[in-house]
Amino acid sequence: MKQTIADALARKGYDTLTQVQQAVTRPELDGRDMLVSAQTGSGKTIGFGLAIAHRLLDEDETFGTSGAPLALVVAPTRELALQVKRELGWLYADAGAFLASCVGGLDIRDERRALARGAHIVVATPGRLRDHIMRGSIDLTAIRAVVLDEADEMLDLGFREDLEFILDETPIDRQTLLFSATVPRAIANLATRYQRDAERVTTVSERTQHADIEYRAMTVAPRDSENAIINVLRYYEAPNAIVFCNTRAMVSRLTARLSNRGFSVVALSGELTQAERSNALQAMRDGRARVCVATDVAARGIDLPNLDLVVHAELPNSHETLLHRSGRTGRAGRKGVSTLVVEPSSRKKAERILKFAKLSADWGTAPSAQEVNERDQARMFASEDWQTEITDSERPAVHKLIKEFTPEQIAAAYLRQFKLRHSAPEELAAIDQRSPKPRAAFGPSVWFSLSEGRNQNASPRYMLPMICKAGDLTKGDIGAIRIDEDVSYVEIREASVAGFLTAIGPDMKIEKTKDLVRLDQAPDLSATGRTGLNRKSGGKPFAPKRGTRLDERDQTPARRRSKSKPQGRAPSKPDQQYSQAVQPDKPAGAAERRSDPKSEADGLFKATGAKPKSRKDRKARPKSGDIKSARSGSKGPPPPKSKPSSKKNRARAAAAKSAKGGDSVPKRCKT
């Protein structure tokens, strides 16, 4: 190790290196490409700073004159990039390194001036760095090492094209290091393309995820999540805590709620400016704020001192997000607590996320108001105020208090003052742990058939209120509803059948058009078009695939050869009926083909001997006095001035006029 770097580590109190730092600084890996995976909080930033030191300094202890950058570090977010710059700043301080940052949200003109003055190491985000490259304000020809920090997050955020563009602009003989908490297939493909004989480095701590973090899953009653978060913060009273939300709206709402309850809280989300986000993190570092409500923008790489508590106000969408959120605590050997606020309806999701993350959590309820008060009392008795000696300036006031008030009054006043400094806990509602009652059996029933099915656009949502209204029933009196092609089947409770038939009347019709028939037994639904029977599978029902139909003769699925509707069904468009009228009859079972409007018009012209009018003829309009009636030969009113709406309609109009009312023109064809 370079002496200048060793001195910087000693000043920071680094007696020993972490596992990942030891793994990447092995002598046999000097100058080699590496694909490193380690859990968050394991010291990866210092690790890759040590790994590229020999490549940047060669045999020297210090850097020379700054010019074109020698090293490039790419991070996914602005906060992480600025944090990496701070860490590398003190690590290479004695070596005389000049560092520059290129991140979104800051003034690009200041960044261009800093790059023009020269820098040894550039820390950047992908989008802003690509902007500088395209503007020509950064020279990457002298790059010796490239580090992609949190590479999996950059790919998740859609920076693949930017990363490929950046790597293509750097020299081929560079040292490339990919650091990532997880190594999915996308990261492996990126390493294969842009690394040469890369060494796969995996630390032992990766196999035991977050050993220094205690996971607690707390079930809360619905609509009681925010009260539970207040009690959790009060129960632990951590020096620093982060509350994670999924949306910006939730961040704003929870920040306002905690601020009203007396918590020193800051917000961190994507809608804030870079200055506001930097001020929020600095307030957490300085101790001016104790709680940070943030979206997942803060889940990557943010390192806050004394961060002992992470609260998941809303469950993350994936187990990777859970790991990165919780990784803000328990860093560099410190202990931490990660709590999940789970409503009963979200318990399955929480268990699934924990299982995928290979984590085990202690399930329980959120701290109650009594538990918070007991914890406050224990902290009050353990306070250092009781052991601190009374100073000379305090002694006169102490004697006066003893003289004026009784011990009970003094103790009560101290207790009240202690409670004023802390927010009161919330009373939480009881959680109903009872399992839902099983659905009762429908009981004896009678089936009826109704002369309306899918071909008539029937659906259970439409039929249920119609039957209830016509038969004076409630939805509890109706069981199953099965829709077939042209008929539907309805199951009605046997006790309600008599009143149902009385309300329907002797005609057995609903809405005067739909025939109702009482069935002697339940219908055989296996023979309907919905389920069918598969002969090859021994009569077992099957679900037809999309794009198939059931042949009516043998109930076997057959691939549709045409998207047109079968014969006998009312055409939904006028052109379908028109094509059926002018075309000769086809043999039964012949494949129906979609008609082409242009070829259809050409066939009409050939059949009638008419010729299509030119554009000039169509535009010419005769005078009203020259128009004679087609039947009487007398002068008639002028034709309507409206033009056909399309070329196909104009062709039909010309054909109808030439045919002069022939049988080949359908009655519905409007000219």
pLDDT in tens, 321-335: 888 888 888 765 678
pLDDT beyond 50 at 579: no
pLDDT beyond 70 at 435: no
Q: What is the mean pLDDT of the chain?
A: 78
pLDDT at 265: 93
Total Cβ atoms within 10 A of residue 246:
16
Which two tokens mark 476? 């509890």
User: Predicted confidence band at 541 (pLDDT cuts at 50, 70, 90)?
Assistant: very low
Report, as an integer, the average pLDDT of 467-487.
Answer: 88
pLDDT beyond 80 at 66: yes
Report, as an integer, the average pLDDT of 281-293.
Answer: 88
Report, as an integer, the average pLDDT of 294-303.
Answer: 72
Place of tokens 């000693």: 10
Half-sphere exposure of 363 (CA within 13 A, CB side): 11
336-342 and 362-365 beta bridge pairing? unpaired
CATH 3.30.70.330 residue ranges of the chain are 445-523
CATH 3.40.50.300 residue ranges of the chain are 3-206, 213-374
User: Predicted confidence band at 253 (pLDDT cuts at 50, 70, 90)?
Assistant: very high
User: Predicted confidence band at 535 (pLDDT cuts at 50, 70, 90)?
Assistant: very low
* Residue 72 near residue 143, CB atoms below 8 Å: yes
Total Cβ atoms within 10 A of residue 44:
28
Top pLDDT among 301 and 320 is at 320
pLDDT at 229: 94
Q: Exposure of 452 by Cβ count < 10 A (0-12 exposed, 13-18 middle, 19+ buried)?
A: buried
* CATH topology (fold) of 445-523: Alpha-Beta Plaits (3.30.70)
Report, as an integer, the average pLDDT of 420-433.
Answer: 82
pLDDT at 143: 92
Express each pLDDT in 354-404 by its tens digit: 998 888 899 999 999 999 999 988 888 888 778 888 888 888 998 899 999
Question: Minimum mean pLDDT among 10-24, 69-83, 542-556: which range?
Answer: 542-556
Report, as an integer, the average pLDDT of 593-621.
Answer: 50
* CATH topology (fold) of 3-206: Rossmann fold (3.40.50)
pLDDT at 664: 47
Question: Minimum mean pLDDT among 408-412, 465-469, 638-642: which range?
Answer: 638-642
User: Predicted confidence band at 419 (pLDDT cuts at 50, 70, 90)?
Assistant: confident
Continuous segment of H or E residues that includes residue 123: strand 121-124
CATH code, 213-374: 3.40.50.300
Contacts of residue 419, defined as CB under 8 A and 6 or more positions apart, other chains included, come to 376
Top pLDDT among 25 and 270 is at 25
pLDDT beyond 50 at 543: no
What does DSSP assign to residue 142? T
The greatest distance separating any two alpha carbons of the chain, rounded to the nearest whole angstrom, comes to 129
